Chain A
Amino acid sequence: MPRAGNRAPLLALLALILVAPLPVRADSAAINTGELTDRVRELLPFLGSPSAPLLPQVVQASAQGGPSVDPSRLDAPERLEIELRSALREPIGETRLTVIDGIARIGHYSLGSAERHRGHVVVLKGDAEVHGQLEGNLVTLDGDIIIHPGARVTGDVLALGGKVRDPAGGITGSRQEIAAFTPVRAPAPWPAVVARRGAGLLGVFLTMLVLGFGMVTFGRPNLEIVSDTVTHSFGRSFLAGVIGQVLVLPTFGMLVVGLFLTVAGALLIPFAVVVYALLAIVAVLGGVLAVAHAMGETITRRRMARGLAVSPNSYRYVLTGLVAIAASWVAWVGFGWVPVAGTIAFLAAALGTWCVATAGFGAALLSRGGIREEFTGRLLPPAMMTDEYLWATPQLGVPAVKRPPKDSA
């Protein structure tokens, strides 16, 4: 609170200023915001005014060997700009500049309608307005050049970081204007790019992991059916996924049109839109998680076949599968900033992820969200629905009697 107490006098002073009567304007009784701001700045100069116009002033000639420009030829505008900018000092009043056959000014410059000036004029940090006769070249740095009707400039004009306005055609020579620098956003250094992309990949991975664990906890049978559908009918799932992607929008359109054609159904359109979008998202995300589950299961079983002792459960399957999918993006995270190679890595990862999502989406469609088991490989084919398998020859067979060697007879 002691700091608040210190600010109290300042706040009171500001309040007094704000409620003080402003000059009455004949055309409007409304308070002009600009005037209010100017008044506050006038009374409280310590607030500063970065955009305040500079006080017009003459630039003194520099000492021997100091900054000097020759505006008689304006065919190298960028070089002249560099020379002028390098001559600027802070505060601006300390600037010294020699203009060959001319003068230099700081701030707003105006040549009256009854005035005639011979020689070049260089205006720094301000506009140049010409109402009269200027016999020489005119250059502004960070300011516009305005040639009013009736004015005449016998020479060339150049606005560095400004515009030239000459509606009446009072310039006999050339008019040039060059815009201020507009830097194109610098590319981030590659470590930052890698870190940002890595963080993004980690975030997506953790999000998918949480969703996957949630599905294992609350919808494990459905997840396993979709996963088995991918494993046993991958081609069919992928094809169904491609067709499903093509038909998503037409189906949505038909749904909306169908609902619109019925009086009661039209009221359901907003809900139908939301539900359809949610179903599509759930189908894609669930499909990706199911593919991850299938990949993880395959990887885990291979590791177990090699004799590694791991716990085969769905949580591990989802985690392992998501790590495998994320691995395809690691190359892009690490080398995405490299020209060509980065693009190839991105395209490869995107293509792989699209295949995963398409197969998962198709499996979700085929299994009706993990309800139907037709494509999971769990059902016995009709040929197996006999009792012949009970009489089948054991796969290992019966060892034959070893033939005795000939010489033993």
Chain B
Amino acid sequence: MRQVGCALGLAALVAAGPLGAQTMRTYGASRPVADAQPPLRTTLEFGAGRVVVRAGADDALYDVGLRYDADRYTPLHRYDPRTGILQLGLKTVGGTGLRVTSRGQLEQVARFAFAPTVPIILQAHLGASEAVLDLGGLTLVELVVRSGVTRGTVDFSSPTRGDCREALFSVGAAELVAMRLANAGCAEVRVEGGVGRAVLDFTGSWRRNTRLTAELSMGTLTLRIPRGTGVRVTADRFLTRFDLDDFARTGNTWSTPDFAGATRTLSVALTTNVAGFEVEWVD
């Protein structure tokens, strides 16, 4: 019986045969800004790899550079000039099999750049990507960032143009860091957290008062707020660790002493379950 088992095991190993080769390709796409350019409604899809998003040249509506595993993905590029709907990134082609080459060989890379002058509604679905989004300088109308299981950084290195209605950060099991959010000038910021960690840094150039709505489940949310900002936190919490020593509590509301007279305010509405929440003051 043992001999039969050994023979079957050996046969299975032999039948597995040589493993297939992977193919990496590069892809580039761009489009000039049209004369009557509608706002850009962009969806970025990128499942795995490294992603960089930033503002590009004024005359290029978008500029994309990809390096991807052609056995598993194919470039996604759809644009409707009438509506401004744009889809960019990679979509799967159903490739399967064991990846046996080194990570460096098969590392997928994506670079996206958008015209700073064209209003943009940006949805970024980052999956398991390691993303760095520098959205400073863009005419940002709305932002949605959905991060899966790896680390993502959204930075507003310089003030955006126009008025941003909303920024939504959805964190699965990932760590998402949003830097210099005040430069985004968004009226409302929303955070949907799973078991990951989100750090929202509200430094930068404040243009308006901001509302923050956070729904956390087993995740951790850290707010970095410039000292002198009036903050009010309204919490609906369950088994949540709070770190609000400098706040005055009234029922389910915590406020900084100077909230009523502050020149800039941040109103936070928290719904948390078995989560962590803390505020760090930045000088």
Contact = CB atoms under 8 A, between A and B. Distances in A.
Interface of A: 75-79, 164, 169, 171-190, 339
A187 B75 contact: no
A339 B74 CA distance: 27
Contacts of A77: 27, 75, 77
Given A169-B32, A187-B101, A78 B21 contact: no
Interface residues of B, number: 31
18 contacts: A75-B77, A77-B27, A77-B75, A79-B74, A176-B27, A176-B29, A177-B27, A177-B29, A178-B25, A180-B25, A181-B25, A182-B24, A182-B25, A183-B23, A184-B106, A185-B21, A188-B18, A190-B18
Contacts of A182: 23-25
A184 B17 contact: no
Interface in B1-57: 13, 16-32, 34
A184 B75 contact: no
A176 B77 contact: yes
Interface string B262-277: 0000000000000000
Contacts of B28: 164, 176-178
Given A174-B30, A175-B29, A178-B26, A189 B17 contact: yes
B25 A184 contact: no
Nearest to A179: B26
B100 interface: yes
A175 B31 contact: yes
Given A181-B23, A184-B106, A189-B17, A75 B78 contact: yes
Nearest to A159: B28
A141 B16 CA distance: 36
A78 B75 contact: yes
B29 A184 contact: no
Contact of A78 (B70, B78, B79): B70
A172 B32 contact: yes
Given A75-B78, A77-B75, A169-B59, A174 B23 contact: no
Given A75-B77, A174-B77, A187 B18 contact: yes
A126 B238 CA distance: 67
A189 B78 CA distance: 40
A174 B28 CA distance: 10
Contacts, number: 78
Residue of A174, A177, A188 most packed against chain B (CB within 10 A): A174
A183 B29 contact: no
Nearest to A172: B32
B74 A78 contact: yes
Residue of B25, B27, B29, B34 most packed against chain A (CB within 10 A): B29
Given A174-B77, A179-B25, A184 B101 contact: yes
Given A75-B78, A76-B74, A185-B21, 12 more contacts: A164-B28, A175-B29, A176-B77, A178-B25, A180-B25, A181-B70, A182-B25, A184-B22, A184-B105, A186-B19, A187-B19, A189-B17
Contacts of A179: 25-27
Contacts of B74: 76, 78-79
Nearest to B34: A172
- 4 closest cross-chain pairs (CB), A and B: A186-B21, A189-B18, A174-B31, A179-B26
Nearest to B69: A184
A112 to B, nearest CB: 24
Contacts of A174: 29-31, 77, 79
Interface in B76-99: 77-79, 98
A147 to B, nearest CB: 12
A339 B30 contact: no
Contacts of A75: 77-79
Contacts of B27: 77, 176-179
Nearest to B91: A76
A153 B187 CA distance: 42
Contacts of B20: 186
B40 to A, nearest CB: 13
A78 B95 CA distance: 15
A180 B23 CA distance: 10
Nearest to A185: B21
Given A183-B23, A184-B105, A184-B106, A178 B18 contact: no
Contacts of B79: 75, 174
A172 B59 CA distance: 12
A55 to B, nearest CB: 30
Contacts of B75: 77-78, 178
B30 A175 contact: yes
A188 B20 CA distance: 9
Contacts of A185: 21, 101
A339 B19 CA distance: 12
